[in-house]
Structure 1
């Protein structure tokens, strides 16, 4: 039993915070497993409760309850939930049981995450041009290989439509990114609609619910221009501009997360040390 006051406080702080993350991780993991095992029941439940939501929430629910989107989202939730669950489990059980093995494993996980974050930020800063090119390449590939039209939506399509309609932008660099979107053009040709850009790239009708991607100009999807669409405004540049405008908030969030991780590492080793001292005391006496 830890007798040191500081170590005792560290122990219970670790217990509280990791219990919260343990519950969050378990919940995310359960939802992911539910979606994989029986996505039909999940769709029925969410659509039943959809009537009680506002327009913005309805849009998210409706879009993300498409069968293809549900399955793709499920695997992401399982992976994320399992990771959070394992790390929080090590921290909570290690603190409550005063297990040096579990606490050390927990601290090592946090150290690895922290080092990866610092490395990623450092590399992005040192190789900013290469990082920018790689990011553009990955985003363009997602449009080229996975973006579909409005009648064949998947997780990538839903995500891009949300980003473009809310940020008022089009593609990674501009609307030309959709010239290489294989699914988008193949499906449009099959439906004989001749759309060259998605509706999310257009200036939308004002006053419409968030789930209605209705261009103010009916010709926009076939004949986009600078007056009826955002065809020349790339989303990556738009995002970069928003980050620069809110740089203080971004820095605050990053520093806050890093501080929490460092505190978790310090508290874990503090409890480990106290447990070791306590065990040595009992062995001697």
Structure 2
């Protein structure tokens, strides 16, 4: 018990550390993104129109931001599971902690391998030089570039000498600012002879070094959190193993042999008072074995003359005091007393039950007839006085729970299939887009670091599909293990999936199914088409697209009249079996251009997956409701239901 408590305290401390460092990584990532964005917003937009590539200095902040938020979420889950002392939540915490460790290590490795290299230097250098040249003609950009120079303590793009070709002196941002008491800040004349200004490095070098340092710091923090997470994982596994299911109540272990004792101690046996006032099976409380007006458990133990012979044996074992507290005390203190009390109760109750059955058979009173309707069992189960009524209701509840579990199994299989299909569609969609992107003339796409919606849609599908499959597996495990912790996590994440699907579908319908997609596809197809005129490899690749989409040219078949004597074979039907394809071919001339066809296909695929997501979200709402019902129907109580023995009464 002490070791488990110490493990819990350790886990609490480790989770606090993880939350703090996760928050720090997320905050640092936001800061890094803001710094990078300050450069990219100053670029000459005319140079960055058609490059759809995302570069590592732009991706790194988002990678670490997502990882930091994930670490905080899992740490909060771990804190809750330890506080609730719930094995199901701890198991889920262990699973997600393993995923966190993999993500942390992967983020650090990817950043150090791909981002901390020459590509970062080239990205920063291209951006700084573009801002520097634009600052020559744009005063607002020049002022913003001055802020960057002052912040980074740098001068010029490559070095301070960059200003000597077109300025009479250094800008004030290249020189230090001095303060004197409470006076306003002032700076000295910033001439080309200023020693401090000439000793400064160029902003491209300083910014690249800062970017690399930030990447290394984020990667080191990620590795450190991974180490803490590994320690947390070991502690969580140890805590999970130390937890055991609550032992069953000792009396319930011997229900078959101690039931008669319980009937006597509780007063819910074949006693006149119970049968009259609670069970409604007798018109009076009179004892049928003597002339006493009220038959109770205490009367049977101490007074009823019908049981004198059994009572003498009982008194010899437990003493003359046959009050219930004295009998219970004697049972606890002596095994011999326990056996004698059990023998007395079994003998007496069996005889009283036999007499009760005889009265049922011989009496014509309706009140003594056995009540077997569902309303009787419903009332009995709510008063805990009718054992068999409670038993039937428990069986009914168990049957309902099994039905809910079965439906959840089927629904989670549907969710998993939908997630797999969505992820596969996203991968296929991404591959199809890459066929277009690979046709572009790379010289036109060097400096645009923006991401366009047709490129975002496949990744939305992939992430959504993987998340749905993971949550479906969580729901299946929760229903199978009947774990309230897993079911709670499953319901929570299912709600997040529903919200995510609605948001993703809305974004797709609003942004992907619009003019941006037409412009993106048109620019890409046109560039591939024009590049195919001088590159045979691109011409073959563009032909494969024409054959696959059953299109011709960029706009239509007339595009080829300006530079070819006939149409490509890929524009004609049965192109594998033809030798030529003339401009007079009717089927080829009726084909649409690849720009329009590709745009329509992109919108159809995106809209179809978005519509399917909205439809499946309705089914997921049903899953949330069923998980919630099963969550509430499960209780931390052990039920021990046995079949009714032959000849046993409802007493």
Instruction: Give the alignment's TM-score, normalised by structure 2.
Output: 0.24
TM-score (norm 1): 0.47
Higher relative contact order (CA 8 A, sep 6+): 1
